[in-house]
């Protein structure tokens, strides 16, 4: 019996632990050959010595289950290491079909206390890391498409966060990076559609090393049920988006956790005001805009987490 991803190959970045690990295992379970990428640093802030052990352990787990996998120790925020990652997939499995960008770090601080390095490092790993791997994967698919004279198979799944949707006061670097990833995803989706490639982004909620503080107040079930914040709830959506079944899903943003998937619409115009003359005056703007905002509930536009049903246990 064939599996949805039989004959396809995938890269999953940051796959040594947490979400990336669950996603790599799911893609392998669905039949894909997987390059398991992880830089292997022990600190969630990107500190500590790099180690091949986390990636190799996941690759070995896949191989022990009868799948095909190879480990890659590499920092995706480094342009040349990202190139080597894509080349490893092509050299090992003959081509690349699926790219799942998941690698990231946290360096939390309020905006008035954040250092330049804390800002730069998070933007570099999340946003530049997504760009680097996407750049080389896109070049691979474009070249293959030209050789084939038509569309080829390509899937990109990027990892954003509700931090950019609902706000995260102590994570201006992370929220900015995750918002940038959505912009990168929609731009990539438009650019690569003619080559047969789709690009989508997910906003996962999961209890991992990176989010242990965020979900500290959300209790894990004690009755044997799967934790609603377990990474294993997220990975099936990644497997679907990576599959032929999702051929018409492109440029989308989806929130996923527990037993829920929510499709997020692009921003809509909430209200529109026209100047009475050629341009607005200060007084006219005050007359129009101030009452509008006076009548709106506080933080109305930043209530995404509540709307989507996240409640503390």
The residues annotated with a catalytic role in the active site are 161, 174, 178
Separation CA 73–CA 219 (nearest Å): 34
Residue from 303, 163, 313 nearest 229 by CA: 313
Residue found under tokens 């509700």 = 162
User: Can you tell me whether residue 306 is helix, strand or coil?
Assistant: helix
Separation CA 137–CA 159 (nearest Å): 16
What values do phi and psi take at 8, rounded to 5? -105, 155
Separation CA 199–CA 248 (nearest Å): 11
Separation CA 77–CA 312 (nearest Å): 34
**Cα dist. 137→23, 75, 77, 199 in Å?**
18, 16, 15, 12
What string of DSSP letters covers 267-303?
A: P--------SSSS--HHHHHHHHHHHHHTSPTTGGG-
Query: Secondary structure of the chain: what % helix, strand, coil (to 5)?
Result: 45, 15, 45
Which alpha helices (DSSP H) does 97-162 contain, by range?
116-123, 129-148
Angle at 121 between CA 141 and CA 26, to 5 degrees: 45
The residue count of the chain comes to: 313
């Amino acid at each position: 019996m064939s599996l949805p991803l039989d004959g396809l190959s995938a890269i999953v970045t940051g796959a040594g632990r947490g979400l990336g690990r669950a996603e790599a295992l799911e893609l392998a379970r669905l039949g894909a050959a997987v390059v398991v990428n992880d830089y292997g640093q022990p600190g969630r802030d990107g500190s500590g010595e790099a180690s091949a052990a986390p990636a190799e352990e996941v690759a070995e787990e896949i191989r022990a289950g009868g799948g095909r996998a190879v480990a890659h120790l590499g920092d995706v925020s480094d342009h040349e290491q990202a190139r080597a990652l894509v080349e490893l997939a092509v050299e090992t499995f003959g081509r690349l079909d699926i790219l799942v960008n998941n690698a990231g770090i946290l360096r939390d601080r309020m905006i008035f206390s954040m250092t330049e390095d804390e800002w730069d490092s998070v933007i570099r790993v999340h946003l530049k890391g997504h760009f680097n791997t996407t750049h080389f994967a896109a070049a691979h698919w474009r070249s293959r498409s030209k050789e084939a004279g038509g569309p080829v198979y390509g899937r990109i799944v990027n990892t954003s966060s509700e931090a950019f949707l609902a706000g995260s006061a102590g994570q201006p670097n992370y929220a900015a990076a995750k918002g940038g990833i959505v912009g990168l995803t929609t731009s990539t989706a438009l650019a690569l559609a003619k080559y047969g490639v789709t690009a989508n982004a997910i906003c996962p909620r999961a209890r991992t090393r990176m989010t242990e503080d965020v979900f500290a107040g959300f209790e894990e079930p004690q009755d044997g049920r799967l934790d609603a914040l377990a990474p294993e709830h997220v990975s099936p959506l990644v497997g679907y988006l990576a599959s032929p079944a999702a051929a018409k899903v492109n440029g989308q943003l989806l929130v996923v956790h527990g037993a829920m998937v929510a499709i997020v619409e692009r921003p809509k115009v909430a209200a529109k005001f026209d100047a009475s003359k050629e341009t607005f005056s200060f007084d006219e703007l005050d007359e129009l805009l101030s009452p509008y905002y006076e009548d709106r509930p506080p933080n109305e536009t930043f209530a995404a987490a509540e709307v989507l049903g996240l409640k503390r246990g």
